Structure 1
Amino acid sequence: MPSLSSARASNAAFSPPNLPTALFVGGTSGIGQATAQALARSTNGNAHIIIYGRNRSAAESTIASFPKSPQSQYEFVECDVSLLKNVHTTTSELLTKIPKLNFIVLSPGYLTSKFKDREDTSEGLPKKLVTDYYARWKFIYELLPLLKKAKEAGEDAKVLSVLAAGKGKPIDLEDLGMEKEYTLLKEMGNAATYNDLMIESFATLEPTMSFTHIYPGIVRTPIFHPSPSSYFLRLLYPLWYILSYFFSFSPKDSGEYHLYALLAGEKGSFRRGPKGEVLKEGEGYFGTEDARKRLWEHTIKVTEAET
């Protein structure tokens, strides 16, 4: 398990001969934002960083914090990833806009207070499951040509999905879309296992690339702030925030660990913990070859992916 100082040293030593291009989906706040900032620092601004998200002012503030160099290329693209049609629109634009892509970091989040009821999008899909899984899969699948271009040029081609590695649960292969039964707890367990299977499937499809699923632990990000309507939670929040310092990470430290996890591992699939450490084999894992195959076929159908 790397220490924070060793993770920082490893990140600081990152010095690619090329100008790396990185896409951060959900990079306007929290872990995605912190990881983007860590990459900008480690490259001294010699990077092309693209942030996808919904909050333009937050993205512009994040970009303003990046170090600048003559080669710096920073941009924001507004996108609500809870709709798969939006994902397809943005990936299609990227395919025509940039020549290659070295890194994809996926950390979109959706916090709901509904433990039993589904909250469906206008496309008829569970909103949380879209941001936790379907949209992530679609970004990777549709941007594979750009990752391939990077790999063909002898450059890095790596993907990091930030969710819940090691926290998976058994999944019902007869209800992969959770049409028969949906609860928040079931979705969280399913999505963790889906992400495990996702990175394994992509690593099998593209064995020269690196695909990582990471569990960030508890990070002091805005997603844990109570809503204005939650009076009781707002009363408890100051106490929780103080106590959390004993068992949580600051966004900046977490960003360093996530960048370390992104850059580590040359090829294959990896499941990692909060400090970028590789998880023990089988830890919180519930995948099988049959599950990988059936989830892949299900996802192709749901996302209307071209095969």
Structure 2
Amino acid sequence: MVSLKNILSSNSRISSDLPKGLVAIFVGGTSGIGEYTLKCFAKRTSSPRVYIIGRSQSAANRIVSECKALNPDGTFEFIRADVGLLKEVDDVCRQIRRKEESVNILLMTQGSLAAKYTTTEDLQLDTSLHYHGRMRFISNLLPQLKNALHLRRVVSVFGATNEGAIHMEDFQARNLGFIPRRDHVSAMITLGLEEMARQAPSITFIHEFPGLVQTQAVDAWPGALGVIVRFVVFVAGRFICVSQEECAERHVFLATSSHYPPASGSSDVSGVSAGDEKPAIGTAGATGGGVYSLAWDGEAGGSKSQEALAKLRVAGMDEMLRKHTEGEFKRITGSLSI
């Protein structure tokens, strides 16, 4: 476990160890984990330029005001979009690319519990938000991430360390139950990040499971499982939930610490120094592998996750997933990236 003490120590050095003007994109930054992390990032950094992507203008107005109070020298811009649609993802990325030659951090927390809803692009909404849309953001912004001089980091928050079977006959997960769908999409995200790392080994890619955090998503969880989760949180939340404050600090650490270095590149792009601490274990089982599947405590998922991913690679699922993703990108947008 990466201790909270070490995390707070690392985060306290961000403004001194990293340059002013870090450019960060928070997709899903108007609620929940994205909002908590954004405010912590605003507090910890020096004159950042932050793009906040979400659907709620009223929430964004409040959050931008709060971030400006935390960091008057920062720039915080809201871009309203439905990122369950790949064409809207493209529109957002075009706006950012017109303004920024480089991007340091892309942090994505967008999601939905509307599992059975199909978008106008004929994608399952939750799968589009958790997988297709996130891969599209990365594909579109790889040039800007590669251009960053001091930090290059992608963080995708979902179900890391829970990677399981990918059902190639149902990539959309239209017919999967809750747990099989989580394991299926989690594996897709991690393999998708590995593909991105092959294209850009100088960028760190992190897939993380945040643990149980009391957010609006818990309150909106549907069905009998939602009732059970809310009851457990009500009764024992302070013992089993990650607090909003700790959650925020941990995700800022993921986005900035050299504990998670890229596969290649100079130390300048690795983030705040982790001192003598060894780099984290990557998805292939080696230290500092550039792609990380992490539990809520910032540590790799261990042999279970690594074995599940290895089995998928041996079966050629990474290549099948790549072809599926490229096919959907071309079908919906006409190109692999903007």
1:262 equivalenced with 2:255 (yes/no): yes
> By how many angstroms is 1:64 displaced?
2.0
Letter in 1 for 2:298: G
The counterpart of 1:288, out of the listed 313, 327, 334, is 313
Question: 1:183-238 CA distances to partner (integer Å, 9 max, x unpaired)?
Answer: 443322211001110111111111111000000000011111148x9899779946
* Aligned counterpart, 2:94: 92
- Tell whether the 8 Å contact from 1:226 to 1:234 is kept in structure 2 after alignment: no
1:172 aligns with 2:174: no
Q: Do the aligned residues in 2 keep the contact of 1:132 with 1:191 (CA within 8 Å)?
A: yes
Counterpart Cα distance in 2 of 1:258 and 1:68:
18
Distance 1:220 1:68, change over 3 A: closer
- Cα distance between partner residues in 2 of 1:235 and 1:158: 36
Conserved? CA contact 2:42–2:48, under 8 Å: yes
* Alignment correspondent of 1:300: 326
CA distance, structure 1, for counterparts of residue 101 and residue 47 of structure 2:
17
Cα distance in 1 between the residues matched to 2:300 and 2:177: 29
Residue matched to 2:273? none
Rate the CA distance shift 1:64–1:274 in 2: closer, same or farther, 3 A: same
How many pairs align? 297
User: Deviation at 1:101?
Assistant: 0.6
Q: CA deviation at 1:241?
A: 2.1
Structure 1 unaligned residues grouped into runs of 5+: none
CA distance in 1, matches of 2:300, 2:227: 36
Change (3 A) 1:70 1:31: closer
**Alpha carbons of 1:294 and 1:64: their partners in 2 closer, same or farther (altered >3 Å)?**
same
CA spacing shift, 1:12–1:293, aligned 2, 3 Å = same
RMSD: 2.4
Q: Which of residues 107, 113, 116 is equivalent to 1:111?
A: 113
Q: Mark the CA change 1:235 to 1:306 in structure 2 (over 3 Å): closer, same or farther.
A: closer
Q: Which amino acid aligns with 1:141?
A: S
User: Which residue matches 1:23?
Assistant: 25
What's the counterpart of residue 38 of structure 2?
A: 36
For residues 239 and 21 of structure 1, what CA distance do their matches in structure 2 show? 38
Counterpart residue type for residue 151 of structure 2:
D
Q: CA distance change for structure 1 residues 80 and 165 in 2, over 3 Å: closer, same or farther?
A: same
Name the aligned partner's letter for residue 58 of structure 2.
S
Map 1:238-253 onto structure 2 (within 5 A): 240-253=233-246
1:125 to 105, 119, 123: 123
Quick one: distance in 2 between partners of 1:281 and 1:238? 32
- Distance in 2 (alpha carbons) for counterparts of 1:130 and 1:277: 27
**Structure 1 residue aligned with 2:76:** 74
- Tell me by how many angstroms 1:125 deviates: 0.9
Please list the CA deviations of residues 244-287 of structure 1 after superposition, one character each: whole Å capped at 9, or x if unmatched. Answer: 21111122210111111222312011111112223324427333
Q: CA 1:12/1:61 → structure 2, altered by over 3 Å: closer, same or farther?
A: same
Change (3 A) 1:291 1:230: closer
More helix by share: 2
Question: Residue 206 of structure 1 aligns with which residue?
Answer: 200
- From the superposition, tell whether residues 226 and 200 of structure 1 become closer, same or farther in structure 2 (CA, over 3 Å): closer
Change (3 A) 1:50 1:18: same
Aligned residue for 2:130, secondary structure, equals: helix
The amino acid of 2:236's aligned partner reads L
Change (3 A) 1:234 1:297: closer
Partner deviation per Cα, 1:100-151 (whole Å, 9 max, x = no partner): 1100001001013x6xxx321111111110111100000011111111121x
Q: Distance in 1 between matches of 2:178 and 2:74?
A: 41
Equivalents in 1 of 2:223, 2:165: separation in Å?
Answer: 33
1:288 is aligned with what amino acid? R
Is the alpha carbon distance of 1:200 and 1:234 closer, same or farther for their aligned partners in structure 2, counting shifts above 3 Å?
closer
Contact 1:217 1:273 in 2 (8 A): yes
Moved more, 286-295 or 154-163: 286-295
Counterparts of residues 143-182 of structure 1 (less than 5 Å): 143-150=141-148, 154-178=149-173, 181-182=175-176
Letter in 2 for 1:106: M
Give the distance between the partners of 1:236 and 1:134, measured in 2 at CA: 28
User: Does the CA contact (< 8 Å) of 1:261 and 1:272 recur in 2?
Assistant: no
Q: CA–CA distance in 2 between the matches of 1:232 and 1:173?
A: 27
